[in-house]
Amino acid sequence: MSDPVVRTPAGPVLGEAFEHGTVFRAVPYAAPPVGELRFQPPAGVAPWTEIRDARQVGATAPQSAESSELLPNVMIAGDDYLHVNVWTPDVSGSAPVVVFIHGGAFVTGSNALSGYDGSTFARDGVVFVSVNYRLGADGFLWYGDGVANLGLLDQVAALTWVRDSIAAFGGDPESVTVMGESAGAMSVGALMTMPAAQGLFHRAIMESGAGHHSISPAGALKVGKRLASALGVAATRDAVAAADLGELIAAQTKVSAQLGKSPFRRTWGDVATNLMPFEPVIDGEVLPQLPIRAIENGAGREIDVLVGYNTQEGRLFFAELPDRGLKTRLVTLVISRLFGLGRKDRAAYRSWAANDYETLVALLTDAVYRIPALNLAEAHGRAHVYRFSWESPALNGRLGASHAMELPYVFDNLADPNWKALLGGPGSQSIATQMHAAWIEFAKTGTPGWPRTRPDASRWSSATAPPSKPTSTHPAEPSGPAAVNPAHVASGRPKN
């Protein structure tokens, strides 16, 4: 099978044939954001005439080299990192398209990770596109002047590229699903409400993230001032741009560590609640308002939505804490106060959980992932909701159905080395087959195979008390051990 050439509006690209189609890597959707283009909205790609070799993995956005065994990271140097990877079953076809936005707390991640290989999507008749975007300060630093949310605007530029170019790769620009995990899912929630993204996609999948993670201009300014202080420069974009890139990445890491050690509202404002210093800013133009509020007011109503969470999300972040003890209870106290929960709320969680650690996991899972997902589904009015509950044996079973655990199942690539430590073993192929098939069906038809939510189902408010079993069962959700489970919707509004 020969490697095909596709002619894009910017120029021809050479792909690599594989068993189920062709993959094109590192195809640019915007110019490198360096020099005069630093801290500017994404600029158009300079056209080329010679065939561009798109068979090698491309550069990744500047970020910390830190990685973990559970969630490996890849770093590849280079300025030309605003690009996409495309897996297509047939360059002459017209297949539905899935555009994937990676997670990483808006400071790490890339489309170079082999765990994000889109071959199985192409195998099942979908064109799969994975996106890089600006991270950290380059993507989300804002002092109140210039254009905000450059990382989100990169994602819009990638979607615009899909609209204008994907037909050449065998994709249907009138059938585009945006899929994201964690920070990527939070990005999807923002994209649903952004004026610049309107009409660029038709379906949305949000895994462990919804519409609650954006900060005020005042919060962004607090972060910006701390970053400038860590760098020893003036609190301006120009001053930050002039700093050494390595020193900037180190300063970002320092600011993140400061937030993690003392996440207090009096110090950080609304940034404290989300525990991420670099994230979308509600600037009033690029992002007009907090996405969940915009969705409550009707934004994105025409978009088909699939949103959900894992039952033990918090375990990824607190795996080293003891089951019982002062330290675990202290972290629980801090987290609960950040989300406006009082003594009675904590007592309700403790009455259900087996120990202090499980109380913390349940509380964080609800506050950051479960309740926001259900809020968004209720506000949207016709979303599909899932709950993922397969428990990994990793870390002697302590990892469970943690944050990111659904990824190898969504991609149906349990054997990829990136997922080895997370899965703690071979995983369940039957569940991967089921989950991946549901995502494929949603991309093709707008339904994953179960009914939409019922917005009028049983309600509760997180501001008063959690349900008796916070992450196990709820009157509006199904019970049982299924790993991919349709869930109806309950209300609850965390104070973020």
Task: Provide the mean pLDDT of the chain.
Answer: 91
* 359-374 per-position pLDDT tens digit: 999 999 999 999 999 9
Q: What share of residues in the chain are helix, strand, coil (percent, to 5)?
A: 35, 15, 50
Which one is catalytic: 83, 212, 384, 403?
Answer: 403
% of the chain beyond a pLDDT of 70:
91
pLDDT score of 97: 98
Residue carrying the six token digits 């120009």: 238
Please give the single-letter amino acid code of residue 27.
Answer: V
pLDDT score of 3: 81
Name the residue among 400, 384, 388 with its Cα closest to residue 453. 384
Least confident of 70-74, 98-102, 481-485: 481-485
pLDDT score of 463: 33
pLDDT band at 266 (very low <50, low <70, confident <90, very high): confident
Cβ atoms within 10 Å, residue 229: 13
Query: Quick check: 312 and 402 in contact, CB under 8 A?
Result: yes
More confident residue, 128 or 469: 128
Query: Quick check: 495 and 463 in contact, CB under 8 A?
Result: yes
pLDDT score of 455: 65
- How far, in Å, CA of 61 to CA of 71, rounded? 17
pLDDT band at 262 (very low <50, low <70, confident <90, very high): confident
Containing H/E element for 215? none
pLDDT band at 469 (very low <50, low <70, confident <90, very high): very low
pLDDT score of 473: 36
Cβ atoms within 10 Å, residue 92: 9
Mean pLDDT for the stretch of residues 28-57? 97
Pair type for strands 95-101 and 127-131: parallel
% of the chain beyond a pLDDT of 90:
85
- Sign, CA torsion 417/422/424/426: negative
Checking if the pLDDT of 156 tops 90, the result is yes
Angle between helices 356-364 and 343-352 (to 10 degrees): 110
Task: Specify which residues 18 forms β-bridges with.
Answer: 21
404: left (phi over 0), alpha (psi -120 to 50) or beta: left
pLDDT band at 146 (very low <50, low <70, confident <90, very high): very high
The single-letter DSSP state of residue 338 is H
Which one is catalytic: 181, 279, 296, 313?
Answer: 313
Least confident of 133-142, 177-186, 464-473: 464-473
* 316-372 per-position pLDDT tens digit: 999 999 999 999 999 999 999 989 888 899 999 999 899 999 999 999 999 999 999
- How far, in Å, CA of 8 to CA of 26, rounded? 13
DSSP states of 18-83:
ETTEEEEEEEESS----GGGTTSPPPPPPP--SPEE--S-----S------SSS-------S---E
**CA dist 354 → 360, 480, 483 (Å):** 11, 19, 22
Checking if the pLDDT of 388 tops 70, the result is yes
Mean pLDDT for the stretch of residues 38-55? 97
- How far, in Å, CA of 37 to CA of 79, rounded? 11
Mean pLDDT for the stretch of residues 27-46? 97
For the record, the structure tokens of 140 come out as 């989300």
For the record, the structure tokens of 454 come out as 């019922």
- How far, in Å, CA of 161 to CA of 158, rounded? 5
| pTM for this entry | 0.93
Checking if the pLDDT of 75 tops 60, the result is yes
pLDDT score of 274: 86
**Residue 47 phi, psi dihedral angles, 5° rounding:** -65, 160
Mean pLDDT for the stretch of residues 200-225? 97
- How far, in Å, CA of 448 to CA of 426, rounded? 25
Containing H/E element for 461? none
* CATH number belonging to domain 1-302: 3.40.50.1820
207 is an active site residue:
no
Which one is catalytic: 175, 182, 187, 491?
Answer: 182
Give ranges for CATH 3.40.50.1820 in the chain: 1-302
pLDDT score of 58: 97
pLDDT score of 480: 33
Q: Where are the beta strands (DSSP E) in 372-423?
A: 384-388
378 is an active site residue:
no
3 state DSSP class of 388: strand
pLDDT band at 25 (very low <50, low <70, confident <90, very high): very high
Mean pLDDT for the stretch of residues 263-267? 86
Angle between helices 326-338 and 343-352 (to 10 degrees): 130
Checking if the pLDDT of 471 tops 60, the result is no
Task: Specify which residues 304 forms β-bridges with.
Answer: 203
pLDDT band at 264 (very low <50, low <70, confident <90, very high): confident
Checking if the pLDDT of 148 tops 90, the result is yes
Give 55: exposed, middle or buried? Use CB within 10 Å, 0-12, 13-18, 19+.
middle
488 is an active site residue:
no
pLDDT band at 1 (very low <50, low <70, confident <90, very high): low
Name the residue among 110, 141, 131, 130 with its Cα closest to residue 38. 141
